[in-house]
Amino acid sequence: MTNRLALFDCDGTLVDSQHNICMAMDQAFEAVKLAPPARHRTLSVVGLSLPEAMAVLLPEAEADFHLHIAAQYKLVFQAMRGQGVVHEPLFAGIAELVERLDCAGWMLGVATGKSDRGLNLCLTHHGLIERFVTLQTADRHPSKPHPSMIEQAMADAGAVPETTAMIGDTSFDMKMAVNAGARALGVGWGYHPPEDLIAAGAQSVAVDADELYRHIGGHD
């Protein structure tokens, strides 16, 4: 029997981390003597791996500089964690949704632009890490929308594209799902507008966790 896999993005889907991301981006740009991008531009690249995000924000810069400012971002974020100012609250209903899906027999996973360390700290803080059978991050894969993260997650969970749902808040998540042949399910509480998710291939966009449960097809 092939397992059913519900694969979640993290930032903007499971947790609201926009304040941290924007603060770190501002400080990373300031560290290299550049004016920080507008908040909406920073949020538009959430979900991409850091070098790819920097390439979108600084299209005229060289690839080496994209890597340099990505490294600055990581340093800033590590400092923020050390100072205890990183705050990544779960969105309303997410803890309950994860429990319901787990109890209904779904395999659960995460596919995120976060680092391994960042994802583990986040999920451990919220007491959710044991619920997930596969954790895929930017440390070990090409950036979204490449399907690599979904492909590895399916292999880990014993799932196939037809039994896999990718759940996310950005067009990158939806395109990744399409590229992997999985279902693309959007959430309306994240960082890209619903119309962008639909345009990128989302089959639906949930307004809250209860509606998302129905879209996934969970059954208590």
Query: Which two three-digit tokens encode residue 32?
Result: 């290299």
Distance from C-alpha of 86 to C-alpha of 22, rounded to nearest angstrom: 11
Distances (CA, A) of 3 to 36, 183, 192: 44, 14, 30
Tokens of 91: 């969105």
Q: Which two tokens stand for residue 44?
A: 């538009």
- Do the Cβ atoms of 173 and 166 come closer than 8 Å? yes
Return the amino acid letter for 65. Answer: F
* Secondary element (H or E) of residue 116: helix 116-125
Query: In whole angstroms, what is the distance from residue 132 CA to residue 140 CA?
Result: 17
Residue that has been written with the tokens 């979640």 in this structure: 8
Environment class of residue 103 by beta-carbon count within 10 Å: exposed (0-12), middle (13-18) or buried (19+)?
exposed
Over the chain (220 residues), the average pLDDT of each successive run of 10 is 93 96 97 96 95 97 97 95 94 98 97 95 96 96 97 98 98 98 98 97 97 83
Residue 36 · residue 26 · CB < 8 Å = yes
Give the separation between CA 161 and CA 177, rounded to whole angstroms: 9
Angle between helices 171-180 and 148-157 (to 10 degrees): 60
pLDDT of residue 7: 98
pTM of the model: 0.94
Which residue numbers are catalytic? 9, 11
Residue spans of beta strands (DSSP E) within the chain: 3-8, 107-111, 134-136, 159-168, 183-187, 204-206
pLDDT at 110: 98
